[in-house]
Chains A and B, each alone.
Chain A
Amino acid sequence: MGKIFFFAALALVVVSGLIFAPAEAKLAIHPMDQFQVSALFGDHISWYTPTNVTLWMALAVAAVFALLVLGSSRRAIVPGRAQSVAELAYGFIYKMVEDVAGKDGVKFFPYIMTLFMFIVMANFLGLIPGSFTTTSHIAVTAVLAALVFVTVTVVGFVKNGVGFLGLFWVSSAPLALRPVLAIIELISYFVRPVSHSIRLAGNVMAGHAVLKVFAGFAAALGMFSFLPIFAITAVYALEVLVAFIQAYVFTILTCVYLKDALHPSH
């Protein structure tokens, strides 16, 4: 009931806003502008040019450094706030790797921790208004996913040799079905990095674009702008959740794929 009322009021406000809005405030919403890569100095962008990507990735590195190195610098037996968070992050990922990938997955822990810390910091830095979200770009997440894919495949073959192909040969299925299942498994294996990367970039990009769209409404609606601002607040809260959850999902999927490489039997 309250929901219906809310949407009715929202529609009314949008319509009335469109009618009564001042003529010069055209509804000019550019939700994708925030994802524009631009050089910090000059106009030309080549592969080594320092861009806003460089800036926000450097800030992510600095944030990781601040949390995990500066935060733990006192090595206190009874930890302070920063050290508690650093230890929490460490324990969280360590336990995830150990539980999902198994004991022998623990030697990949620094690698997985690197992925998680980068994604989570980039996501949260991207929530700062006016910032640039590096993880909203498919180029970035595709490289992250490709790194995982290549690592997992190489580890799988190094650890198990040809036995790694047993991952595609479902020995519990009837013999006649196995070739069909093998093709499906093979396709799903190669689709993994695609879904792995698009899931992260898509979630982050969509949330940020929605924020921008509501922000455009707020600019156009005049006195009724409080409604889109309320919506922005709600979506922003959701985005805070998404920022963490997508980093978590990316990391735990990495652990799952690693488990497949270490123990390929179905």
Chain B
Amino acid sequence: MASNTQEAAHGGGSAMPQLDFSTFGNQIFWLVVALVVIYLILSRVALPRIAAVLAERQGTITNDLAAAEDLKAKAVEAENAYNKALADARAEAQRIAAETRAEIQAGLDEAIAKADEQIAAKAAESEKAIAEIKAGALESVKAVATDTAEALVSALGGSADKDAIAAAVAERTKG
């Protein structure tokens, strides 16, 4: 049979090579060698290196996050500063406007007061002049009336003394 010759070719062991104890020593020896080599590779080179890479990455990530946090805080700070500057500028502008307005108002008030004063002075002067003119005119009317009355009296053939005429004129123009 083919299967018999096959087994014979393999040293005539049992059907399961796993139970062929003659190879156990060989397998165990090479297994121990392989395990020791892997252990040395891992503990000396591979694991410390990978651990370092992972730690480094973790550090980088932590640093980047901290930096981002920092930048964010700075941005908030800058925004606050900007807002404050804006508010300050607005307040300053309002203050300046109010000041200017007050200044202008003061100047205006002064100018108005001055103008009023001048106007009052001019008006008083004019009133005085008018009064003078009025007085002058009244005198002239009296003189003309006296002269006219004298001339009328003499033209009517009468003769009147100057005092009587003047009294009569004065009496008539009085009221």
Interface residues of A (CB under 8 A from B): 26, 28, 30, 32-33, 35-38, 45-49, 51, 53-54, 57-58, 60-61, 64-65, 68-69, 72, 75-77, 79, 83, 86-87, 90-91, 109-111, 113-115, 117-118, 134, 136-140, 143-144, 147, 201, 205
Contact = CB atoms under 8 A, between A and B. Distances in A.
A150 to B, nearest CB: 13
Given A45-B22, A118-B34, A69 B45 contact: yes
B26 A28 contact: no
Nearest to A60: B34
Given A68-B46, A87-B54, 8 more contacts: A30-B6, A35-B18, A36-B10, A37-B27, A51-B23, A53-B26, A77-B57, A139-B24
A37 B20 contact: yes
B30 A68 contact: no
Nearest to B57: A77
Interface residues of B, number: 42
A113 B43 CA distance: 9
30 contacts: A28-B2, A30-B3, A32-B17, A36-B10, A37-B17, A37-B26, A37-B27, A38-B10, A45-B22, A46-B25, A47-B25, A47-B29, A48-B29, A51-B27, A58-B34, A61-B38, A64-B41, A64-B42, A69-B46, A72-B46, A72-B50, A75-B49, A77-B53, A79-B53, A83-B53, A113-B42, A114-B38, A114-B42, A143-B28, A147-B35
A65 B45 CA distance: 10
Per DSSP, chain A at the interface is helix
Given A32-B17, A77-B57, A110-B42, A140 B47 contact: no
Contacts of B52: 75
Contacts of A147: 35
B47 A37 contact: no
